[in-house]
Structure formats: C-alpha cells, structure tokens
Amino acid sequence: MRRQIPLAITLVGGVVMIIQYFIPHQISQEIYRGSLDWLMIIAGFTMVLGIGSLVIHHTDKLKHHREGWGYSLVTLAGLAVMSIVGLIWGMAGDKPFMQIFIYAQNPIQATMFSLLAFFIASAAYRAFRARSFVATLLLLSAIIVMIGRVPIGAKIWSPIRLVSDWLLDYPNMVAKRAIGLGVGLGMISTALKIILGIERSYLGGVK
C-alpha cells in the first residue's frame, strides 16, 4: 500500500504522458491539459507545508527564547502582515500589499542581489589565481570577456570585442552544448528510472 500505490501512480502517469507526446488526437490533448492543471493545483497545496514549517521553526525559537528569538518575531510579523493585507485587499495596483512589496520586499531583495558585485570583486582578487594551466585559461578568458563586452574595451584595444565574441560564440557554446548533452541524458535516464520505479529516493529512503 505505502509503496506499491505510489509506484503504480508514477508508472501510469509517466507512461501516459510519454505516449501522449506522440498522439496529436483531441483525447490525448485533453488528458494532457487536465494533467497540467492538476499539477498546478497540487503545487498550490504544498505551499501550506512550507509556510507551516517556517512558522513552526520560528514559534519554536520564540517559545524557548533561543538565541535571536527577537528576529523570529520580525519574520512572523512580516509573514502575518503581508498575508493578511494581501488576502483582504488583494494584490493589484495601489493596494497596501503592492506598496509593502515595492518599498520593503523589493529593495531588500534587489540589494541582496547587488551584494554580488562586491563579492565578485573580492572573489576575483582572492581566488582568481593562475595556479595551473586550466585555471589560467579560465582567468584569461574571463578578463577578455570582462573588458571586451563593455564599450571601453574597444577604446583600449579594438579587436578585443571580436576576441570576446569569438570566445562566446565558439569555445563557450561548445562547452555549454557538451555539458547540456550530458545533463540531458542524465535527466532522461533519471526520469525513466522514476517512471519504472527504479529510482525511489523521492519516497524518502524507502528501499
């Protein structure tokens, strides 16, 4: 019951969807559309799991006054305010929900991302060493592209743009394609193993 039914569901679901790809007929298309809707709805329900875990984690901290419990209060307050405001007044336009988003959530997230500019500078300085031949290749190609892709590069040495384009068009494209082919085969074989019930780690270590 606990293992056989999930395995049967994956087998049937997977095989039907593979076959469906080759059948243009209306019935096949309807099955396909229906499944897509169902996937979306199930994904919606999992939201409660995530939020539940988050709330439990932080109320736990609060209850036991663990280190940094005050911040847990901030998280829970943010969660409560954002969801209540959104569920009552809706999301669109000039509603408070969007205002909080634009003036609080958005700036924090965008700034977080821009910290990367600083980190990349420190990584470039500290870790980017010509230790070996391959490391040197990586370094040189990075420098050429960094200079070649900004307008000032052409001012310094005009062919650098062509070299940087060439690096992106050929070696780079080639590497990406080869990695993509390998990853693609890996994806397909894993998907096959899931459908065939060989890969069961999603059942959580059930052997």
Partner 1 sequence: MSIYEKMMSIDRRVLFVLIALSVVIPLLKPLLLPVNVTKEVKHLYEFVDKLKPGDVVLLSLDYDPSTMAECQPMAISILRQCFSKGIKVIVTSLARPEGLGTAEMALTQAAQEYHKKNGNDYVFLGYKPNAAAVILAMGENFRLAFPNDYYGTSIEDIPMMKGIKNYRDIKILVTISGSGIIDTWVIYAGGRYGVPVGAGVTAVMATDYYKYLQSGQLVGLLGGLKGAAEYEKLIKHPDMATKGMDGQNMAHLLIVFFIIIGNIGYFLGKRAKGIKGR
Partner 2 sequence: MRTKIAERRVEGVNRGIIPLVAFLFLLAIGGRAGAQSSTDTLPPSPPSEVTAFDTHNDAGKNITINWKLSADDGTGRNTVKGYDILRSESRSGEFEMVGSVVAGISTFQDDKVENHRNYFYKVRAKDHRFSESGIVGPVQASGQWYNTNRTVVLIFVVIFTALVIYFVSSAKKGKKLYIRPIPGMDAVDEAVGRATEMGRPILYILGLSTISDVATLASLTILGRVAKKVAEFQSKLLVPCYDPIVMTVAQEVVKNAYLDAGRPDSYDESNIWFLSQSQFAYAAGVNGIMLRERTATNFYLGMFYAESLILAETGNIAGSIQIAGTDAVVQLPFFITSCDYTLIGEEFYAASAYLSREPKLLGSIKAQDWGKMGLIALIVLGGFFASIHHLSGFVNLFTVGH
Partner 3 sequence: MHVSSSIGVWIAAFLTLFVYSFLYKDNPFYKFAEHLVIGLAGGYYIVTVWFQILKPKLISPLFQQGNLTLIFPLILGLFMWARFIPQYSWISRWAIAFTLGVGSGISIPSVMQALIIRQIQATMLPVNFHSYIGWMNLLIIVGVLTSLIYFFFSAEHKGILGLSAKIGIWFIMIGFGATFGYTVMSRVSLLIGRVQFLMTDWLGVLH
List of residues contacting partner 2 (CB under 8 A): 18, 21-29, 46-47, 49-54, 56-57, 60, 67-68, 108-109, 112-113, 115-116, 119-120, 122-123, 126-128, 138, 142, 176, 179-183, 185-193, 196, 198-199, 201-206
DSSP string of 2-62, one letter each residue: TTHHHHHHHHHHHHHHHHHHH--SHHHHHHHHHHHHHHHHHHHHHHHHHHHHHHHHHHHHH
Q: How far apart are CA 153 and CA 131, in angstroms?
A: 26
CA distance 144 to 192: 42
Helix (H, G, I), strand (E, B) or coil at 157: coil
Please give the residues from 36 up to 75 whose contact with partner 1 meets the rule CB under 8 A. 36-37, 39-40, 43-44
Q: Smallest distance from the beta carbon of 185 to partner 1, in angstroms?
A: 16
Angle at 46 between CA 41 and CA 52, to 5 degrees: 145
Q: What would the two tokens of residue 184 be?
A: 């693609």
Which one of partner 2, partner 3, partner 1, none interacts with residue 87, CB within 5 to 8 A by kind? Answer: partner 3
Q: Count residues binding partner 3 (CB under 8 A).
A: 123
Q: Write out the binding residues for partner 1, residues 99-158 only, by CB under 8 A.
A: 101-102, 105-107, 109-110, 112-114, 117-118, 120-122, 124-126, 128-130, 139, 142-143, 146-147, 149-152, 154-155
